[in-house]
Structure 1
Amino acid sequence: MLNETLKTLFNRDLNRLKSEIDAYQSEENIWQISHGITNSAGNLCLHLLGNLNTYIGAILGGTDYVRNRELEFSLKDIPKQELINMIEATIGVVSKTLDQVSNEQMDNEYPILVFEEKTSTEFFLVHLTTHLTYHLGQINYHRRLLDRR
């Protein structure tokens, strides 16, 4: 049951991420920082994708994804369509992986230590949904401030 709820939330919010990136009238604005905004929408998008592909795809799903967190915040000017393609691929990875996570795995300790204390897989996956929505809100606000749609 939780798997289906998580799949629904991740799918909803990753599709919202795709819509937000697509809504930028100017691709240049995806990468702009201004007025005390320290991360561009493009870099927040890359960060979210790196996070989900690592903690869900690689750790739980066994994909060969290797994260370079530094690049998530330093890469610039990736075309809008490429970001959208990356989001769509991540939707697939998250959905496929969550289909494979058992109730027992949900109750068990998450396979790696991420925070100061150990957590269950269930707790960590719920955390990842809130992390996604937090940055999604920042991206929405960034777009409305800098792209003025």
Structure 2
Amino acid sequence: MLLEVLNTLFQRDLAKLRQEISAYKDERNLWIVDKNIANSAGNLCLHLIGNLNTYIGAELGKTGYIRHRDLEFSLKDIPRTELLAKIDETRVVVEEGLTKVTEEKLAEEYPMLVFDKPTSTEYFLVHLTTHLTYHLGQINYHRRLLDV
């Protein structure tokens, strides 16, 4: 049951991420940083893609994805079409990765130590949904404030 809920939330919010990135009137504005806004929407999008491809794709789905986290925040001016394609690919990776998780595996320790102490796979997947939502909200505000 939880896996179904998690997949629904990931799919919903990745679709919303796609909508937010598509909603920028000027795609150059995806890469603006201004005043106390440290990360552009484009970089937050890359970060979310890298995060989900690492923790669900590579770790749970065994996709072989290799993360370059520093590039998630340093790359600039990636075409919107490429970001949208990466979001679409990530939706598939998340869905397929979650199909490899059993209810029993949810209670087991997540295979990678991410925080200061081990967590269950269930806890970590819930964390990933809130992480996605947190940055999705930042992207929404970024667009409404800086895509003028």
Residue 135 of structure 1 aligns with an amino acid whose one-letter code is H
Q: How does 1:62-73 map to 2 (within 5 A)?
A: 62-73=62-73
TM-score (norm 1): 0.98
- Structure 1 residue 104 displacement after superposition: 1.1
Counterpart in the other structure of 1:3 = 3
| DSSP 3-state at the match of 1:39 | coil
Inter-partner Cα distance in structure 1 for 2:35 and 2:94: 34
Counterpart in the other structure of 1:98 = 98
Matched, 1:58 2:58: yes
Matched, 1:83 2:76: no
Inter-partner Cα distance in structure 2 for 1:95 and 1:78: 25
Inter-partner Cα distance in structure 2 for 1:115 and 1:100: 23
Inter-partner Cα distance in structure 1 for 2:16 and 2:101: 24
- Structure 1 residue 100 displacement after superposition: 1.6
Inter-partner Cα distance in structure 2 for 1:84 and 1:62: 23
Residue 106 of structure 2 aligns with an amino acid whose one-letter code is M
Q: How does 1:1-149 map to 2 (within 5 A)?
A: 1-148=1-148
Alpha-carbon displacement from aligned partner over 1:73-130 (angstroms, at most 9, x marks no partner): 0000000011000000000000011112101111100001000011000000000000
Inter-partner Cα distance in structure 2 for 1:17 and 1:111: 27
- Structure 1 residue 64 displacement after superposition: 1.2
Alpha-carbon displacement from aligned partner over 1:11-63 (angstroms, at most 9, x marks no partner): 00000000000000001000000121100000000000000000000000000
Structure 2: unaligned runs, 5 residues or longer? none
Aligned pair count? 148
Q: CA RMSD in A?
A: 0.6
Residue 145 of structure 2 aligns with an amino acid whose one-letter code is L
Alpha-carbon displacement from aligned partner over 1:123-149 (angstroms, at most 9, x marks no partner): 00000000000000000000000113x
Which range moved further: 10-19 or 99-108?
Answer: 99-108
Structure 1: unaligned runs, 5 residues or longer? none
TM-score (norm 2): 0.99
Residue 134 of structure 2 aligns with an amino acid whose one-letter code is Y
